[in-house]
């Protein structure tokens, strides 16, 4: 059963994303349930490269 009370924290960044300086060693990776390999932020966001973007990162802390 999902929690009825949640506390959310967030981080918003607005700027121009630069993926040209990333390489496999320095990429941002996400482990996703149901996928056997990590997901690469650089690959997912490739079409946004060089564009002004807003990136939001948040998590939920279940209180009850």
**Domain map of the chain by residue range?**
6-62
Residue 36: predicted pLDDT? 92
What's the rounded mean pLDDT across residues 6-33? 79
Instruction: Please tell me the distance from the alpha carbon of residue 34 to that of residue 26, in angstroms, as a whole number.
Output: 24
For the cut 70, the answer to whether the pLDDT of residue 24 exceeds it is: no
CA separation for the pair 4, 35 (Å, rounded): 28
Residue 51 has a pLDDT of: 92
Average pLDDT value for the chain: 82
pLDDT, mean of residues 14-41: 82
Residue 27, classed as helix, strand or coil, is coil
- How many angstroms separate the CA atoms of 48 and 46, rounded? 5
């Amino acid at each position: 059963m999902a929690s009825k009370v949640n506390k959310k924290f967030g981080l918003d960044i607005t700027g121009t994303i630069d993926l040209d300086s990333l390489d496999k060693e320095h990429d941002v990776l996400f482990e996703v349930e149901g996928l056997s390999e990590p997901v690469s932020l650089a690959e997912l966001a490739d079409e946004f490269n060089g564009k002004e973007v807003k990136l939001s990162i948040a998590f939920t802390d279940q209180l009850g």
